Structure 1
Amino acid sequence: MSTIIMDLCSYTRLGLSGYLVSRGVKKREINDIETVDELAIACGAHQPSVVFINEDCFIHTPSDSQQIKQIINQHPDTLFIVFMAIANVHFDEYLLVRKNLLISS
């Protein structure tokens, strides 16, 4: 199961990678990236099953936000899990936006 983690924090990447490995995902199937351009390339090359994205990686740049939307649309068989950068006190669960997009705080 190919997995991509897009997060600027090395501790978050390490923790999520460790959790996935403990659940049976092979370490060589986990790819860490930091930019939207790297995500586009990695999704094309690896056809991942799951992509974890920290919202902080794209929310500050409108062109990056638009490119993320395009990547999600281009890969309907990949589950994209987006973690909100700033948690909303009224939103403490997750929201399934569509078949391949889950947003979590």
Structure 2
Amino acid sequence: MVMDISEYLDAAPIQVDINTSIHRVLHLFKSLGLRCCLVSKGGKLQGIITRKDLLYFIQDHEKSFHQASGIIEAGDDSDDDEPSGHAVGKSEAVVRVRASARPPRNPRPLPLQ
């Protein structure tokens, strides 16, 4: 049995390199209205980033930002030499998106009906 799924596929999907910054990925999603974006390394597929992945990422970082703002406004006198865990660098942000973009280890084939 053969099923035509061409209407569900994008003939030219947007693809980014695994080292693309999260800011660039967000810009692509916003400007092009993407629902998903392929992630590759050396031309080989590494995973996919979906709009849902980005929404979770943004929500998580807004929460961290508000927590950090609250600490700063409260005048927390903790030792400045110790990392607070509230600042998220570019590399950590990209790693989180990369982790969510990895394909499952044992993907199940879609059933044909």
Q: Fold conserved (TM > 0.5)?
A: no
Higher strand fraction (1 or 2) = 1
What TM-score, normalized to structure 2? 0.29
What TM-score, normalized to structure 1? 0.31
Find the structure with the greater CA-based Rg. Answer: 2
Higher relative contact order (CA 8 A, sep 6+): 2
